[in-house]
Amino acid sequence: MRAVCVIGLGLIGGSVLRAAVRSGRTGWGATTSEEDAAAARAAGYDVAPSSEEALRRAAEQEALVVIATPLPAVGGVLRRIARHSPETYLTDVVGVQEPVHELVRELAPNTRYAGGHPMSGTADSGWSAGRAELFDRALWAVTTDEDTRLDSWLEAAALAVDCGSRVVPAAPGEHDAAVARISHLPHLLSAVLASVGADGGPLALSLAAGSFRDATRVAGTDPELVRAMTEGNRAALLDALDDALGRLGAARGALASTGSLNSTVRSGHEANGNLREQHTAERVSRTVPLNAGHALRRLREIGQQGGCVVSLDAEAATVELPAPE
How does pLDDT run across 253-281, given as a tens digit for each residue? 999 999 999 999 999 999 999 998 888 88
pTM for this one? 0.92
C-alpha 265/C-alpha 149 separation (Å) is 45
Q: Side-chain half-sphere of 303: how many Cα atoms within 13 Å? A: 23
Helix, strand, coil percent values for the chain (each to nearest 5): 55, 15, 30
pLDDT band at 291 (very low <50, low <70, confident <90, very high): confident
Query: Taking a C-beta distance cutoff of 8 angstroms, is the pair 65, 88 a contact?
Result: yes
Query: Taking a C-beta distance cutoff of 8 angstroms, is the pair 133, 13 a contact?
Result: no
Classify 160 as helix, strand or coil.
helix
> For residue 246, what pLDDT is reported?
98
Pairing of strands 27-30, 4-7: parallel
> For residue 293, what pLDDT is reported?
75
- Amino acid residing at 189: L
pLDDT band at 123 (very low <50, low <70, confident <90, very high): confident
pLDDT band at 19 (very low <50, low <70, confident <90, very high): very high
Segment 24-50 mean pLDDT: 97
C-alpha 256/C-alpha 142 separation (Å) is 45
Q: Which of 68, 48, 66, 96 is nearest to 8 (CA)?
A: 68
> For residue 214, what pLDDT is reported?
95
Q: Side-chain half-sphere of 169: how many Cα atoms within 13 Å? A: 30
pLDDT band at 125 (very low <50, low <70, confident <90, very high): confident
pLDDT band at 324 (very low <50, low <70, confident <90, very high): confident
C-alpha 12/C-alpha 9 separation (Å) is 7
Classify 139 as helix, strand or coil.
strand
Question: Looking at residue 47, what DSSP letter applies?
Answer: B
Q: Which of 250, 112, 278, 99 is nearest to 182 (CA)?
A: 278
223 phi and psi angles, rounded to 5 deg: -55, -35
Q: Which of 275, 282, 273, 288 is nearest to 321 (CA)?
A: 282
Q: What sign results for the dihedral spanned by CA atoms 296, 317, 101, 120?
A: positive
In the chain, % of residues over pLDDT 70 = 100
C-alpha 182/C-alpha 221 separation (Å) is 16
